[in-house]
Structure 1
């Protein structure tokens, strides 16, 4: 009986130690990245990517995915995508990179657990919990489209608060595409100030605004139904 009780307590203790170690490791890595890593200038990125030739697109996707997993803003990557590859190809590569990084962060959060992720989210924790608790597709859309709200808390919060993988990926794809296109188009316009690129910027931002209003209304409706099922 004593061995059984000892064994019963050993499991949770080891699990707690592993989670604590993971928290410390992830937190330190993210803090180091946030304060010490600076993305190269857009001109430097342009030279680096173009020097890689055909592999430049894959390198851009990989770098974007890593950035999407960290507190480093993704805006510079999206704008760089427009400068490097134009509005069309840049949008495709940026969306793929953003979604891959978001998906990886989602599963990392699932493995770390809610308590650990709450500590990692820091000041973003309360807002993410408010939107994602007992919610799904609409909530992810709202946070993805919210102006100035970074990607990484949505990724980690979705994994921690039980948003299904299907809802997370579907909402991320739907909400990420117009936002990324709007940012990529800015880069494309800087590189080549044509009417077509200007139109893409205007249309993309109009879609972002319309989708933000729609997603917020749908999220409010879902929350009311959850609070008052009758």
Structure 2
């Protein structure tokens, strides 16, 4: 899969103006097909630069997440339910999300604890509204920009595909920013879900 993505990035780089559209389509399909897009995200920084790369990744990730959400809600509900049946985090989220869908989605997008591809499908079987789910995608922006930026520091696709981390002060700073944002979001979503779940329990007694 890594070799395929690397060849795809090289192909996109040679497409010129059509490269952005091709990238968005491929990123969207990767998300729907449950394929991790981390290599594509890093590669976007090399192929397009930070600004355009971040825009293309965000559009592709948003479209892919909405596609996965709809598949999870209408086509693969039983399969997704089995995937998350033993995940206590998702059970807690389901109880809270009907009341505060946008805030929950936003915080889970900021937190690295919840895997992107699984979360897309899992939220499809919760009671979150599609509008709140789509708007919550803005939580992906900080992580998207940081990872595209780290990819841009690699300088070329070959280094991104080598699997070796980019090591310089700028990359290390970006990684620490991602960790700090993710930690804060994880704590926030945990406290917020706990608060809502406790309130719901009190109201039902």
Fold conserved between structures, TM > 0.5: yes
Residue 167, structure 1, aligned to residue 128, structure 2: no
Deviates more, 1:80-89 or 1:143-152: 143-152
Equivalence for 2:162: none
Pick one of 176, 183, 190 that aligns with 2:154. Answer: 190
Q: Contact 2:108/2:185 (CA < 8 Å) preserved in 1? A: no
After superposition, the Cα gap between the structure-2 partners of 1:43 and 1:154, relative to the gap in structure 1 and judged at 3 Å, is closer
After superposition, the Cα gap between the structure-2 partners of 1:138 and 1:101, relative to the gap in structure 1 and judged at 3 Å, is same
Q: Contact 2:109/2:116 (CA < 8 Å) preserved in 1? A: yes
Equivalence for 1:158: 123
SS in 2 for 1:133: helix
Shift of residue 71, structure 1, vs aligned partner: 2.3
TM normalised by structure 2 equals 0.77
Pick one of 64, 69, 72 that aligns with 2:35. Answer: 72
Question: Structure 2: how far apart are the matches of 1:216 and 1:86?
Answer: 35
Equivalence for 2:51: 88
Q: Contact 2:9/2:43 (CA < 8 Å) preserved in 1? A: yes
Question: Structure 1: how far apart are the matches of 2:111 and 2:176?
Answer: 18
Higher RCO (CA-CA < 8 Å; seq separation 6+)? 2
Q: Aligned residues, how many?
A: 189
Deviates more, 1:38-47 or 1:160-169: 38-47
Shift of residue 60, structure 1, vs aligned partner: 0.6
Q: Contact 2:111/2:182 (CA < 8 Å) preserved in 1? A: no
Equivalence for 1:101: 64
Pick one of 171, 174, 180 that aligns with 2:144. Answer: 180
Question: Structure 1: how far apart are the matches of 2:103 and 2:116?
Answer: 16
1:78-101 C-alpha deviation (Å, 9 max, x unpaired): 111112112221111111100000
SS in 1 for 2:86: helix
Question: Structure 2: how far apart are the matches of 1:169 and 1:223?
Answer: 23
SS in 2 for 1:126: coil
Q: Contact 1:86/1:188 (CA < 8 Å) preserved in 2? A: yes
After superposition, the Cα gap between the structure-2 partners of 1:92 and 1:204, relative to the gap in structure 1 and judged at 3 Å, is farther
After superposition, the Cα gap between the structure-2 partners of 1:180 and 1:171, relative to the gap in structure 1 and judged at 3 Å, is same
Question: Structure 2: how far apart are the matches of 1:55 and 1:211?
Answer: 36
RMSD: 2.8
TM normalised by structure 1 equals 0.70
